[in-house]
Amino acid sequence: MDEPLFTIGARATCRDGECGEVIRVVIDPVARMMTHLVIEPTHRQGLGRLVPLELVESSNDDVMLRCTVKKFEQLEIAEETNYLPGTIAYQGYNPAYVLPLPYYALNTGGTTLPVIYDKLPLGEVSVRRNVPVRATDGEIGKVQGIVIDPSDHHVTHILLQEGHLWGREEVAIPISAVTNFESEVRLNISKQNVRDLPPVDITHADA
């Protein structure tokens, strides 16, 4: 099997240096195609960039991009921050311009709380690491990564993390068994069906 694996949590490198870490993958749930990676710059949480697959040069243990760090930093930000309105002003400032320190989260004094949303192409969804994978009769593990067909970017398998129910090194669930990609990955097969899946040899090949 020569489909590349995109591991959520993999390091990402541009042509002139490291640029961050893969924190999510973006999927068109209708076409069952992966369209983007979300790569968060190192030490800059909340500034993840939408990276189209056309910029992915390879996806071995690390993800290599065919662009410079500067070009990467110009890509669209994958998150949008809105603010819950405060109830009172604070020392002459409008509540919309006042944010609480993290350790004041339970007592904001009427200041504004940030709310962060995924900012994705219309109709597409993101899949994160540790998202639960649920069979028809209960949860079976959590997402580790996505396997795609390099010829057309269609998703072929969902890969479970190590430490799932059966202790096999890799369990790849065919995309035909997936019915939902929202807050959890839902399957149309049972735990026993997953247990009976044949081993899949995932090749960390060039994308």
pLDDT value at 198 more than 60: yes
**Predicted pLDDT at 15:** 94
Determine, yes or no, domain membership for 187: yes
pLDDT value at 167 more than 90: no
Determine, yes or no, domain membership for 44: yes
Determine, yes or no, domain membership for 94: no
**Predicted pLDDT at 203:** 56
**Predicted pLDDT at 43:** 72
Average pLDDT, the chain: 76
Determine, yes or no, domain membership for 116: no
Q: Which of 42-51, 92-101, 156-165, 166-175 has the lowest mean pLDDT?
A: 92-101
Determine, yes or no, domain membership for 203: no
**Predicted pLDDT at 168:** 60
**Predicted pLDDT at 204:** 46
Residue 127 binned pLDDT confidence (cut-offs 50, 70, 90): confident
pLDDT tens figures, 81-111:
555 555 454 455 554 554 444 444 444 445 4
Pairing of strands 63-65, 56-59: antiparallel
Q: What is the 3-state secondary structure (H, E, C) of the chain?
A: CCCCEEECCCEEEECCEEEEEEEEEEEECCCCEEEEEEEECCCCCCCCEEEEHHHEEEECCCEEECCCHHHHHCCCECEEEEEECCCCCECCECHHHCCCCHHHCCCCCCCCEEEEEECCCCCCEEEECCCEEEECCEEEEEEEEEEECCCCCEEEEEEECCCCCCCCCCCEEEHHHEEECCCCEEECCCHHHHHCCCCCCCCCCCC
Q: How many domains does the chain have?
A: 2
Determine, yes or no, domain membership for 82: no
CATH number at residue 187: 2.30.30.240
Output the pTM of the full model: 0.66
Query: Where in the sequence is the domain holding 11, given as residue range(s)?
Result: 5-73
Determine, yes or no, domain membership for 55: yes
